[in-house]
Structure formats: structure tokens, C-alpha cells
Amino acid sequence: MKKSFLYKNFLFLAFAILFFSCQTDNDTNPKEKFAFKTPSNFPKPTYNLQENPITLEGFELGKKLFYTGILSRDGTVSCGSCHAQTSGFTQHGHDLSHGIDDKLTMRNSLPIQNLAWAKNFFWDGGVFHLDLFAISPIEAENEMGETLPNVLQKLRNTEGFESPKTDYPLLFEKAFGTKEITTDRFLKALSQFQLMCISANSRYDKHVRNENTNENKLTTQELKGLELFEQNCSNCHSTTLFTDQSYRNNGLKIGNPNDTGRHRITQNEEDKFKFKVPSLRNVEVTRPYMHDGRFRNLEAVLDHYTDGIQDSETLDESLKSTLKIELNQEEKEAIIAFLKTLTDEEFLSNPILSEF
Amino acid sequence: MNTKFNFSKIAFLAFFIAFSTALSSCKKDSETEPEIDPNKKGMLEIKFDNIVGQDDFTLGKDYQNAAGETFKVDLLQYYISNIILKSENGSEYIVPQEESYFLIKEHDENSRNIQIPNVPEGNYNELIFTIGVDSLRNTMPPAQRTGVLDVGVEGAGKEMYWSWNSGYIFFKMEGTSTAIEPTDTNPNGKFRYHIGGFGGYDTPMFNNIRTISISLGRDAAKTREEAMPSVHIVVDILKVLEGTTQISLSEYPTVMVNPFSLKVSENYMKAFEYHHVHNEGHE
């Protein structure tokens, strides 16, 4: 039954894509490559793709917008500045991401991957629709320091620009039919690019889908790590997305007392110092870890769970009783070996997502 | 044309005065006002007059609150949405939601006059509306946030949206007070009241959506195809600081995403009062 449901969904998607490609252009081949495909081991996307059907032109525009400095006040910062593809779309080597005028932000940038399945965005879940997500970094004075109306105006002002400069109204026309640059179109184009950042081809995924060749098969140690992971970690980092998308206090020592996490959004005392459970896909390349990037490597993360958990009023129930996860050195190594099977080389080097 | 207009207007007024003084209970007389044809549609205007006590409110002018603090306001704007008109006979006209969002700005006189089209003819004696933006709209994607809700347009949603938590600011009042001790971070004694919070998307949080009902008492706004009544609502800005809870600006110079904002929204609910209605135009 489950299979037929999936099958139906696929048929529907296929039809939607066919329908769309017939409508816009006669050259359908490149578009089919851009069809949004739900990987067979993934659930149904949260994002409503019917409201923003992905097209090659929309995706290309979104990619341009993702990598342009126009989004920032002085042209120095693009989305890609803090979200580099090779680091799983995070800012490599920075505990706290930094934006315009070298100002530090409060947090470590989260990866841009599998956002079609995300319910909320940011470490505190303050934004709950992907289309609304980009406004925050554009307008934060320590990120891009711009205003959305001004970005839209700067884009409108590029009309008639010739290569190598970009004529954005022309790109909007290709993507949406007219040159008009609206809030909605701008944000939808950015979403189209981000929605296509799908990571589902790690060795783990291929293991789950029985696609691994002999030399690619998970090793005994990795399989042992998977087993340990399922016993000790998947309560929160539930598999497939490797996050249950909840907000929890995992017992970190309080760093910045002003960053109360989820509490900043809800103002509920019980949400103090709770942060989103991050996905562990590509975790090998998204270091450093935690909302403030305090742990430089995975060993430090596991050491926290075995020896570093601080009790507090909002500490997660699953850690309350023991204040630790019991793991010996060998088990930690196995878990780390397993976590590295979540690295998706195809995604990290996919040329269609890259800036150049 | 002018004389004809004057004549009919005088005739109407004469009838109106005669009937309202002598036969105030006999309302349904067809000669006092045009008959109501519910199939016909007209308009209804609501004017929001910001005031202070008995006086007209002016940006940049010194006022004094109940705490004895002198203050002036530089910016005052708020959303009015989800308007319902109730008529004397109990029928309701719910303004279609897409057309039911207004941003009232003290610095923009046009924004203070809301004109509602396609209102069925009727004598409306109660207005119900939300000060702020309903929770559903607060959860919608940008495609459903247009007009005064567009977060990418100056003078619209841009100034009334917290980009980091998806929510709208319902009521915004900023200014300065000599009572606020200047500090390094606030050298000019500024106060900033940004009131919002729609109850949360999937986690409950504080909710400042305030829906109020305003009765026109014995009056009615008489919408006819050819006549647009104008209802005047006064909004006493002093009530923002003392409607129910007396608030000191020096104690609370900044109220934004904080449960204390509930006190402010509770206060400003009390600021909205019916003043009068103009029913001219019945020719």
C-alpha cells in the first residue's frame, strides 16, 4: 500500500513536470534534469511545490541571487559567503558566522540541504516558511545589513545591463513571465535554488536503498556505528533526515547568556536554551558544531554527550536521568565512522549547485 | 446642478430633523431615508482619528502621561484587519479577508480613511475589527502577504515585520521622553513600543491579537448605493500607556517581543472609541 502511494506521488510529480515544461519552452531536456525528485528513501516534502513549481529558469535565477553580493549593503556578502557548498553549505572553519563589516553573528551557520523537508528554519525555528527565510539574513545588521525593498530596487536597476553584468529583470522574465520584480518572485526564486540542494546520495543512503557496490559497502565498524547510533542518538536525530526537527537543550554549558535559543521566539521559560536538533547529514564537513560552533570536531561532540552534560531546568528529558550517554572509546570511533558515511560527495561537488 | 443638489440636501435634512425629533421610534419610514435594498451595494468609510484626551494628536508635540512623564511621538502606525459590519437587523457583512488589511499611519492622512467597497445596503451600528494581523495570515508564504502586508515594500509590511520570527508588528509607537534617562545605548531617551506576537506557529507563545467591537449606540452608518456613510473612530494615544495598566516610559522604554507587551495591547484596546457618523449624501 505504501508503495502504491509513493508511486502515485511520483506519477503526479511526473505529470506536473511534464505539464510545466510543455507550457514554457520547447527545449524540455535540461528541464527534466531539474525536476524535483523525492529520493525513494525520503518522506513527502513539507514544502508545497505546487505553489512554487521549480523550473530551470527559476532555479538559475535563484542560484544567481544566492551567489550575488547585491543582497548585501556594500556588495561584499552573498548567501554563499556563509553557506559554501563544499562545507555542506556552511561557513567553513568559523564558530560564529560573520557578515558585513566583519561583524560576528550570534551563531554558527546551518547547512542548506534538504530544506524541502524542513518545518522550521534557523537554530531557534523563528521562521517557518522557506520563502520567508532569506529576509532575515538580508536585514540583519551583522549579516547583509540591507533592506529587502532596497535589494529589490537594486535588482530592478540592473535592467539593460550587458554581460558580464547581469540583467535581473530579464532573468525574472525568463523565470516568471514578466520583468516585474516582486517580493514574492524574488523569494520564490531563492527557494527554488535551495529546494534543489538535496543531499540523498551518501553511502548510507545507498546502503539503505541497496545500491552500494562491493567496494562501497558499509564496513563492519560503520555498521556497528549505525547500530550504536540507532540505540543512542536516533531518538532526536531520527533517521532519513537525521533530525526530528524539535528543539532541545542538550546540556551545553551556557555560552552566550543572551542567546536563549527557542525562548527568543516563544518567550516561554521552558524553551530557554533549547536549540533545533540539527541534521547530521554531511556532518563530517560542517564543523565546527553546536549553535555557537563550540566543538571543533566530532570527538569533542561525543565527549560532551559522555562527560560534559550540564543539568538545568530545561535539560532534555532523555538526558535527565543519567546526564550521560554511555559509550566507550571504541564505540565512539564506530559512531564517528558511521557519521562519515553520511557525507554525500555527489551533493558537495554537484556542479549545478556550484557558484562557478 | 448645484442648486438642485442644495435643494435636495436641504429637503433631506428638513425631513430628517423633523422625523428624528418628533418620531424617533418610527424608524422605518421610507420618506426619512432611502429604502434598503440588500441586493444593492454601496460603500462605508471608517476614519481613524488619533487624539490625546480631548485634543487632536500631533506628531512631535509634547504630551504628558498619567505617570507625569513628558513625551512626544515620532512614529505611530498600526494594522486594522478582519473588519465585520453588523447592521441594525442583525445581519453581518464580513469584509473579504484579502481586502481587509489596513495600515493606519499617523503621518499619512490617506491611510487613516478606510473605504470599504461592495457593502450591501444597510444601517450598520456595530463594527468589529482586529487591531493587528490574524494568526493565519502570519503563517502564510509571501505570495499571500501583499499590499500593506508586503514585507518587501517600504511604508507597508517592511516596517511592520520581524524578519527573524516571521511575525508582524501590530502596533508601533516610537518617540522620546525627557523622563527616560539618557544612556550610552539610548542617548536621546527614545522609547520604542513594537507590539506583536500572534500566538505561535507550532509552539504556543504570547498572543497580542486584539479584536474589538465598537457600537455606534443609537446611530447607524447608512450605506446605500448612492451614499457612503463615514464612521469616525477616535484613538486616544494616552490610553496606550494607561488604558488598564499605567505604564511608565522611563521604566519601560522598550517593549517588543516580551510578554509585557500584553499589557500594552490590553491598554490600546481601550483607546478605540466611537465618536460620530456622517450620513450625508442621501440625495
Interval B230-272: pLDDT, tens: 999 999 999 999 999 999 999 999 999 988 999 999 999 999 9
Question: What integer pLDDT is reported at residue A255 of this predicted model?
Answer: 92
Q: Strand B167-177 and strand B161-162: pairing?
A: antiparallel
User: Would the CB atoms of A131 and B143 count as touching at under 8 Å?
Assistant: yes
Q: How many other C-beta atoms lie within 10 A of the C-beta of residue A257?
A: 7
DSSP 8-state symbol, B34: P
DSSP 8-state symbol, B181: P
Lowest-pLDDT range of B3-7, B37-41, B87-91, B206-210 = B3-7
Question: What integer pLDDT is reported at residue A119 of this predicted model?
Answer: 94
Distance of CA A71 to the CA centre of its chain: 19
Mean pLDDT of all residues in chain B?
Answer: 89
Q: Is residue A154 less than 8 Å (CB to CB) from chain B? A: no
Mean pLDDT for A296-322 is 96
Q: Is the ipTM of this complex over 0.85?
A: no
Chain A residues in contact with B150 by the CB 8 A cut-off are: 182-183
User: Would the CB atoms of B201 and A128 count as touching at under 8 Å?
Assistant: yes
Q: How confident is the model at residue B2 (pLDDT cuts 50, 70, 90)?
A: very low
Q: Which residues 242-261 of chain B have a CB within 8 Å of chain A? A: 257-259
pTM given for the model: 0.85
Q: How confident is the model at residue A10 (pLDDT cuts 50, 70, 90)?
A: low
DSSP 8-state symbol, A90: B
Q: Is residue B147 less than 8 Å (CB to CB) from chain A? A: no
User: Would the CB atoms of A126 and B166 count as touching at under 8 Å?
Assistant: yes
Q: Is residue B90 less than 8 Å (CB to CB) from chain A? A: no
User: Would the CB atoms of A120 and B152 count as touching at under 8 Å?
Assistant: no
Chain B residues in contact with A188 by the CB 8 A cut-off are: 142-143
Closest CA to A285 of A152, A144, A90: A90
Q: Is residue B166 less than 8 Å (CB to CB) from chain A? A: yes
Integer Rg of chain B from CA = 21
CB A212 within 8 A of CB A203: yes
Question: Cell for A71?
Answer: 543582497
CB A123 within 8 A of CB A250: no
Mean pLDDT for A63-81 is 94
**Position B48: which residue type?**
F
Question: What integer pLDDT is reported at residue A24 of this predicted model?
Answer: 42
Chain A nearest-CA residue for B165 = A126
Q: How confident is the model at residue A156 (pLDDT cuts 50, 70, 90)?
A: very high
User: Would the CB atoms of A266 and B200 count as touching at under 8 Å?
Assistant: yes
Main-chain phi, psi angles of B21, to 5 degrees:
-80, -45
Q: How confident is the model at residue B12 (pLDDT cuts 50, 70, 90)?
A: low
User: Would the CB atoms of A128 and B202 count as touching at under 8 Å?
Assistant: yes
